[in-house]
Amino acid sequence: MAWARGILQNRPILMGILLVCLYETVTVWMTVMKYNRHPSSPVGVLGLAFAVFITVSIAYRSPFVADRLVFGAFTVISVLTATRMTRLTSLAMLAVNATEALM
């Protein structure tokens, strides 16, 4: 019986994920630089929720430990980003910022 390969062990898929993440990083950074805040449109929130769902499912089902680590960390960062899009008290925002800084 052959072992199932993890997503990060498959080079074409890994390169595709890397390119998608780079594109998303550049577009979000340009938006943040332009408006000096995170976009909070309904499409962005739903897209972030979908990304969290996908990364949680990959992290939960993957047999490869590195997949679990990378996609789990991405899930935490996505949830923190979604939390920053909401209106929080200053103490709650301080906790979110501290958690993000520790990542």
Q: What is the pLDDT of residues 32-52, one digit of tens each?
A: 666 665 556 677 777 788 888
Whole domain around residue 91: which residue ranges?
40-103
Is 3 within the bounds of a domain? Answer: no
Cβ–Cβ under 8 Å, residues 37 and 92: no
What are the structure tokens assigned to 49, written together? 């929720």
d(CA 52, CA 23) in angstroms, rounded, equals 17
Cβ–Cβ under 8 Å, residues 8 and 66: yes
Is 56 within the bounds of a domain? Answer: yes
Cβ–Cβ under 8 Å, residues 7 and 58: yes
Residues 48 and 63 in one domain: yes
Q: Which pLDDT value is given to residue 77?
A: 82
What residue ranges of the chain have pLDDT lower than 70? 1-4, 32-41, 103
Residues 52 and 77 in one domain: yes
* Domain count for the chain: 2
d(CA 80, CA 67) in angstroms, rounded, equals 20
